[in-house]
């Protein structure tokens, strides 16, 4: 009888140890997936930061006063007013 209890206890311990080993493997796999996801997100963040800097630079370039003035002179054919002209109307 005593031998049966020890064998039963041994199988229970082996089963618990097996479950703990499976859980450890699962957790390590999840950690590796999280590290891989974190590395991917860092690369994506760096690319988006670079795109953001490029877009800001392009925005500042396109909205610069010199660019607006050149556009007004060349495409819209506007002329800068150099002196004021007074026009008097007779009644």
Domain extent, residue 51, equals 2-74
Q: Is the residue at 85 inside a domain?
A: no
pLDDT at res. 14: 97
pLDDT at res. 86: 75
pLDDT at res. 81: 67
* Residue ranges with strand state E in 1-91: none
Q: What is the pTM of this model?
A: 0.54
Tokens of 14: 């082996």
**Burial state string for 13-32 with b = 16 or more CB within 10 A and e = fewer than 16:** eeeeeeeeeeeeeeeeeeee
Q: Is the residue at 51 inside a domain?
A: yes
Q: Is the residue at 80 inside a domain?
A: no
Instruction: Give CA angle at 52 (49, 57), nearest 5°.
Output: 130
Contact call for residues 78 and 72 (beta carbons, < 8 A): yes
Q: Is the residue at 23 inside a domain?
A: yes
Q: Is the residue at 54 inside a domain?
A: yes
Segment-wise mean pLDDT, segments of 10 residues, the chain, 91 residues: 88 97 97 95 97 94 84 79 75 68
Q: Is the residue at 67 inside a domain?
A: yes
Q: Is the residue at 81 inside a domain?
A: no
Q: Is the residue at 20 inside a domain?
A: yes
pLDDT at res. 65: 86
pLDDT at res. 58: 92
Tell me how many domains the chain contains. Answer: 1
């Amino acid at each position: 009888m005593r031998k049966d209890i020890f064998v039963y206890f041994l199988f229970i311990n082996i089963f618990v140890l097996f479950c703990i080993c499976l859980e450890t493997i699962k957790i390590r796999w999840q950690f590796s997936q999280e590290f891989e996801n974190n590395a991917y997100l860092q690369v994506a963040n760096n690319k988006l930061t670079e795109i953001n800097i490029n877009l800001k630079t392009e925005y500042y370039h396109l909205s610069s006063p010199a660019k607006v003035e050149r556009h007004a002179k060349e495409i819209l054919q506007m002329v800068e007013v150099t002196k004021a002209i007074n026009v008097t109307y007779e009644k």
